Amino acid sequence: MVTAAEREIEHVLDQIRAIPGFERFLRPMSVTEICRAGGGDPVIYLISAPAGSYALIARPGTDGKDIAEAIHLPEITSVDVLRLETFDYIGDDHAPGLLLAQSTDPLRRRTLLPIALARLSEMRPLVAPIVDVLTRSSGNRAVVIPTGLLGLIPLHATPLSAEDGQVLDDIGEIHFAPSAAAFAACRTRASTSRQERFVGVANPQNSLSPLPGSQAELAAIQSLFETTTPTSCAVGAEASRTWLLQHVEHATYLHLACHGASTPFTANGQLYLAGDSVLTIDDLINGQLEGCRLAVASACQSGHYATIGGADEFTGLPAGFLLAGAACAIVTLWQVNDLVTAILMVRFYELLLGLEGGSGPAGSPVAALRKARTWLRQLTAKQLDDFIQMHPRLADTFDRSATRHDSSTPYASPQYWASFTAWGT
């Protein structure tokens, strides 16, 4: 019976592969195809298992031959990854994991999340091959495909030593992707030009708590675009699912500043819009974002997803944006307050567009986000105040007292900047 079922499946697959454009349907990618997907940059699959993790690296060789290597990392098992996400016992107490630290009330979250993020040092053996590849790469870039729960860990924030404060983000530019095939599609989309339009929603009027900072965030970002690019934005009661679906197919830049919900145990992330309407992956999946260079969901936990049967596949808002046609998706792994999100997002777009002291456009959303995270880490309290005063829409919303901090670099902790992650290119 099993043999007969296998023959029937193979017969169906042969019929599908006979359709033009589906010749490679469900066929595994070769090393050459994976290298080609990276566009000249190394591609690194990270896989965790009970006996240890593996870094599977595919990269072009200097002699024209593609190279594949597997590095066993016995120090990090799938149990270690699960403990980092949930909790780990230390004597009679326990250290919170990244997911559990986020699921508490805001007051406890401010205490528990830094403790959970301090445990990122446990991932040093896992990111060591990435450091090596980035260092040897001519462009200091790599495509990283974190399988399973690894994609819920801010690997870019992993400290490389206990002494100098250096993190993986300092070494090079990492392009996260759900698979090599998905990244190849993102590269093709990124090189396709179309008439630009910025589309955004913020602070939708619904039964959830208001987000006045998101409205200032969107207004400041819109002002960066409107001198050169048509914009369509909705806030408050107008920021509904109906309005968004009427405008989203025209967006080359899509910015969603609203509440969101997504977990590692459900396949469909969602964003809450005006009138308690909800935007889900299913609303976007049928090419709604075809031609979209960048989709940003600066909502809480928009970067969570559910893993499914395939080793390098997952479902959720990050993959949903890419499946819907976007070349790059920027999402968040945990809740970040209004002020921090607003200033980071405004600086990100300045860097992306080559504005306000930038040395020209950053080249890609991934590069711009990396620069923005570094900027936020190093931002002094004085620079923070100056930045807000330079942007009237931010200054009108955020009280000056909100910018007063005891620390000289108030946002150096990863709890502020590491949540923001880019998928695609």
Residues 250 and 382 grouped into a single domain: yes
Backbone angles phi, psi at 369, to 5 degrees: -65, -40
Residue the block writes with tokens 């108030």:
410
What digits encode the pLDDT tens for the residues 26-64?
A: 667 888 888 889 999 999 999 999 999 999 999 987 777
Question: Residue 263's pLDDT is what?
Answer: 56
Residues 270 and 381 grouped into a single domain: yes
DSSP of 228-294, one letter per residue? Answer: TS-EEEEEETT--HHHHHHHGGG-SEEEEES-EE--TT-S--EEE-GGG-EEEHHHHTTTTTTT-SE
Range of the domain at 137: 32-79+118-176
Q: Which of 11-15, 86-90, 318-322 has maximum average pLDDT?
A: 318-322
pTM: 0.89
Residues 61 and 142 grouped into a single domain: yes
Q: Name which of 321, 335, 187 is nearest 254 in CA terms.
A: 321
Question: Residue 360's pLDDT is what?
Answer: 54
Residues 262 and 400 grouped into a single domain: yes
Higher pLDDT, 252 or 88: 252
Which helix H or strand E contains 323, and what residues bound it? helix 317-323
Evaluate whether residue 20 is within a structural domain. Answer: no
Query: CA-based diameter of the chain, in Å?
Result: 73
Residue the block writes with tokens 């709890």:
415
Backbone angles phi, psi at 354, to 5 degrees: 75, 35
CATH assignment of the domain containing 382: 3.40.50
Evaluate whether residue 190 is within a structural domain. Answer: no
Residue the block writes with tokens 């301090």:
118
Residues 154 and 264 grouped into a single domain: no
Backbone angles phi, psi at 70, to 5 degrees: -120, 125
Q: How confident is the model at residue 196 (pLDDT cuts 50, 70, 90)?
A: very high
Q: Name which of 128, 121, 173, 176 is nearest 333 in CA terms.
A: 176
DSSP of 389-410, one letter per residue? Answer: HHSHHHHTTS-GGGG--SSSST
Evaluate whether residue 21 is within a structural domain. Answer: no
Residues 390 and 302 grouped into a single domain: yes
User: Do 57 and 71 contact (CB within 8 A), yes or no?
Assistant: yes
Q: Name which of 277, 280, 296 is nearest 349 in CA terms.
A: 296
- Determine how β-strand 173-176 pairs with β-strand 270-272: unpaired
What digits encode the pLDDT tens for the residues 299-357?
A: 665 545 444 444 444 456 778 888 889 999 999 888 888 899 999 999 999 999 998 65
User: Do 366 and 348 contact (CB within 8 A), yes or no?
Assistant: no
- Determine how β-strand 141-146 pairs with β-strand 43-49: parallel
Residues 341 and 202 grouped into a single domain: yes
Return all residues near 111 (Cβ < 8 A) that are at least 6 apart: none
Higher pLDDT, 401 or 250: 250
Question: Residue 298's pLDDT is what?
Answer: 83
Evaluate whether residue 343 is within a structural domain. Answer: yes
Q: Name which of 355, 337, 339 is nearest 347 in CA terms.
A: 355
Residues 208 and 136 grouped into a single domain: no
- Determine how β-strand 93-96 pairs with β-strand 278-280: unpaired
Q: Give CA angle at 118 (114, 123), nearest 5°.
A: 140
CATH assignment of the domain containing 45: 3.30.420
Cβ atoms within 10 Å, residue 397:
21
Chain-centroid distance of CA 253 in Å reads 15
Reported as half-sphere exposure (CB side, CA atoms, 13 A), residue 84 has a value of 24
Residues 298 and 414 grouped into a single domain: yes
Residues 240 and 152 grouped into a single domain: no
Question: Residue 310's pLDDT is what?
Answer: 44
Q: How confident is the model at residue 387 (pLDDT cuts 50, 70, 90)?
A: very high
Please tell me the distance from the alpha carbon of residue 80 to that of residue 122, in angstroms, as a whole number.
9
Evaluate whether residue 103 is within a structural domain. Answer: no
Pick from 107, 142, 176: which residue ends a domain?
176
Evaluate whether residue 250 is within a structural domain. Answer: yes
Q: Which two tokens stand for residue 198?
A: 């910025």
Please tell me the distance from the alpha carbon of residue 35 to that of residue 425, in angstroms, as a whole number.
15
Three-class SS state of 67: strand
User: Do 245 and 232 contact (CB within 8 A), yes or no?
Assistant: no
| Mean pLDDT, the chain, integer | 85
Q: Which two tokens stand for residue 96?
A: 């919170």
Q: How many domains does the chain have?
A: 2
Please tell me the distance from the alpha carbon of residue 326 to that of residue 418, in angstroms, as a whole number.
22
> Measured between alpha carbons, how far is residue 308 from residues 178, 256, 266, 305, 314 in Å?
12, 26, 10, 10, 6
Reported as half-sphere exposure (CB side, CA atoms, 13 A), residue 191 has a value of 6
Q: Which two tokens stand for residue 84?
A: 């980092």
Evaluate whether residue 186 is within a structural domain. Answer: no
Evaluate whether residue 14 is within a structural domain. Answer: no
Q: Kindly state the average pLDDT of the residues 97-123.
A: 81
What digits encode the pLDDT tens for the residues 219-245?
A: 999 999 988 999 999 999 999 999 999
Three-class SS state of 205: coil
Residues 146 and 233 grouped into a single domain: no
Residues 335 and 384 grouped into a single domain: yes
Backbone angles phi, psi at 383, to 5 degrees: -65, -35
